[in-house]
């Protein structure tokens, strides 16, 4: 029997943590030790074309930014995806980001979310159902815990030890919120977040304090978010990222993602706040800085950034609605030669 092929293209945006996840409760099943609150962005985007093949004995494949990835990093994720989509399924995917990959801009959150979303869309198992979204979020978590949040739009919570994320508020909860992404350095990070958080958990004397503290801060942040209170939320977000990094600095060997310009942006935000401009910075596993602010103060912040860091490109993003399926790709042209050649080898025709 000829193999059956389903395909779909999914577009998905990164989940930017307001309150951070750092450290695993269970390493093997990739559940988080800290609860996290995040916002799903709108303009930063991963586009993923997924072919789901049935009736063929082949390896899963992922081509990211034109490069075939090693399957090791994806093995547990694809096993989880097969438990959702069917044990005989094989997945071939190609993915592109409209922003730098693995540079601290949460590309793994949108990447794994787009993979599971695209596969489910290809098989027609995406309904507007809470249960399906939770199941997809659960599979995405196996790839990258932050990806569990990217399956939802608006504002999300991934609770401590949770298997899937939940939506706290839809995107229209806070349409005035903006995120300025300051690109400090586009190169890939020196150490993956997966490895770095294990190193922190195992060696940092501050790790348990970080986890305990996060449990105190996150409910307060949830309330500030519900009230759209930016000064309060910003203050909590700042504590969250600075305490997360403090645990990393104390790891052995220490983990340092910051660059000199990252610190310049942090200090600039402090100065802006003293002038009455609500600019609240955050950082993830990379040197980039993201600033939470309100639409009406965005230009003032951009001007200050342009004066102090004229060489760092800035992008203004807002709250997004979550993944969608498209028939009009924006980043992926024709099927990548790696996948096209594999199709020839197996005698299959990719739509």
The residue from 7, 11, 36, 222 that contacts ligand PMV (CB under 6 A) is 36
State which residue, 18 or 90, has the beta carbon closest to ligand PMV: 18
Site membership for ligand PMV, residue 290 (CB under 6 A): no
Site membership for ligand PMV, residue 106 (CB under 6 A): yes
Of 20-28, 54-62, 213-221, 336-344, which part binds ligand PMV (CB under 6 A)? 20-28
Nearest approach, Cβ of residue 285 and ligand PMV (Å): 5
Helix (H/G/I), strand (E/B), else coil: 336? coil
Site membership for ligand PMV, residue 282 (CB under 6 A): no
DSSP 68-123: EPPGGGGHHHHHHHHHHH-TT-EEEEEEEESS-TTSSS-HHHHHHHHHHHHHHHHT
Q: Where are the alpha helices (DSSP H) in 275-319?
A: 298-308
Restricting to residues 308-347, which ones interact with ligand PMV according to CB under 6 A? none
State which residue, 193 or 262, has the beta carbon closest to ligand PMV: 193
Of 51-59, 115-123, 144-152, 295-303, which part binds ligand PMV (CB under 6 A)? 144-152
Q: How far apart are CA 19 and CA 239, in angstroms?
A: 9
State which residue, 51 or 153, has the beta carbon closest to ligand PMV: 153
The residue from 17, 45, 218, 225 that contacts ligand PMV (CB under 6 A) is 17
Structure tokens at 70: 């090693």
Nearest approach, Cβ of residue 241 and ligand PMV (Å): 8
The residue from 20, 117, 169, 201 that contacts ligand PMV (CB under 6 A) is 20
Site membership for ligand PMV, residue 126 (CB under 6 A): no
Number of residues that bind ligand PMV (CB under 6 A): 14
Site membership for ligand PMV, residue 102 (CB under 6 A): no
Of 139-147, 168-176, 291-299, 340-348, which part binds ligand PMV (CB under 6 A)? 139-147
Measured in degrees and rounded to the nearest 5, phi and psi for residue 198 equal: -70, -40
Q: How far apart are CA 197 and CA 244, in angstroms?
A: 10
Nearest residue to 221 via CA among 170, 156, 175: 156
User: End-to-end distance of the chain based on CA atoms, in angstroms?
Assistant: 17
Q: How far apart are CA 168 and CA 275, in angstroms?
A: 32
Structure tokens at 220: 């307060």
State which residue, 106 or 305, has the beta carbon closest to ligand PMV: 106
CA angle at residue 47 from 145 to 180, to 5 degrees? 70
Which residue's entry shows tokens 């190169």? 187
Mark 178-197 with x for binding to ligand PMV (rule: CB under 6 A) and - for no binding: ---------------xx---
- Length of the chain (residues): 351
Measured in degrees and rounded to the nearest 5, phi and psi for residue 32 equal: -80, 145
Site membership for ligand PMV, residue 146 (CB under 6 A): yes
Structure tokens at 335: 């099927």
State which residue, 105 or 339, has the beta carbon closest to ligand PMV: 105
Which residues form the interface with ligand PMV (CB under 6 A)? 17, 20-22, 36, 106, 108, 144-146, 193-194, 284-285
């Amino acid at each position: 029997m000829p193999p059956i092929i389903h395909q779909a293209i999914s577009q998905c945006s990164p989940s930017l943590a307001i309150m951070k996840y750092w450290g695993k409760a269970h390493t093997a099943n990739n559940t988080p030790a800290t609860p996290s609150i995040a916002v799903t962005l709108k303009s930063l985007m991963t586009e993923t074309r997924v072919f789901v093949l049935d009736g063929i004995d082949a390896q899963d494949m992922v081509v990211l930014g034109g490069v075939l990835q090693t399957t090791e990093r994806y093995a547990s994720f694809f096993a989880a995806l097969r438990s959702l989509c069917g044990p005989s399924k094989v997945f071939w995917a190609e993915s592109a980001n409209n922003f730098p990959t693995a540079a601290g801009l949460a590309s793994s959150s949108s990447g794994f979310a787009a993979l599971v979303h695209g596969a489910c869309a290809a098989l027609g198992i995406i309904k507007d159902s809470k249960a399906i979204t939770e199941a997809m979020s659960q599979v995405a978590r196996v790839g990258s815990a932050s990806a569990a949040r990217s399956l939802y739009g608006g504002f999300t919570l991934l609770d401590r030890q949770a298997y899937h994320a939940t939506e706290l508020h839809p995107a229209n909860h806070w349409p005035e919120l903006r995120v300025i992404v300051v690109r400090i350095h586009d190169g890939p990070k020196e150490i993956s977040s997966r490895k770095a958080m294990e190193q922190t958990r195992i060696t940092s004397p501050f790790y348990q304090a970080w986890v305990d503290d996060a449990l105190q801060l996150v409910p307060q942040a949830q309330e500030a978010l519900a009230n759209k209170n930016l000064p309060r939320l910003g203050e909590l977000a700042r504590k969250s990222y600075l305490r997360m990094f403090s645990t990393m600095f104390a790891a052995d060997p220490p983990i340092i993602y910051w660059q000199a310009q990252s610190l310049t942006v942090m200090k600039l935000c402090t100065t802006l706040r003293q002038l009455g401009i609500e600019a609240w910075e955050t950082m993830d596993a990379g040197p980039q800085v993201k600033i939470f602010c309100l639409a009406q103060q965005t230009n003032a912040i951009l001007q200050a950034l342009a004066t102090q860091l004229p060489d760092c490109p800035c992008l203004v993003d807002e709250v997004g609605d979550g993944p969608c399926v498209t028939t009009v790709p924006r980043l992926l042209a024709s099927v990548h030669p790696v996948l096209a050649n594999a199709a020839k080898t197996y005698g299959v025709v990719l739509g």
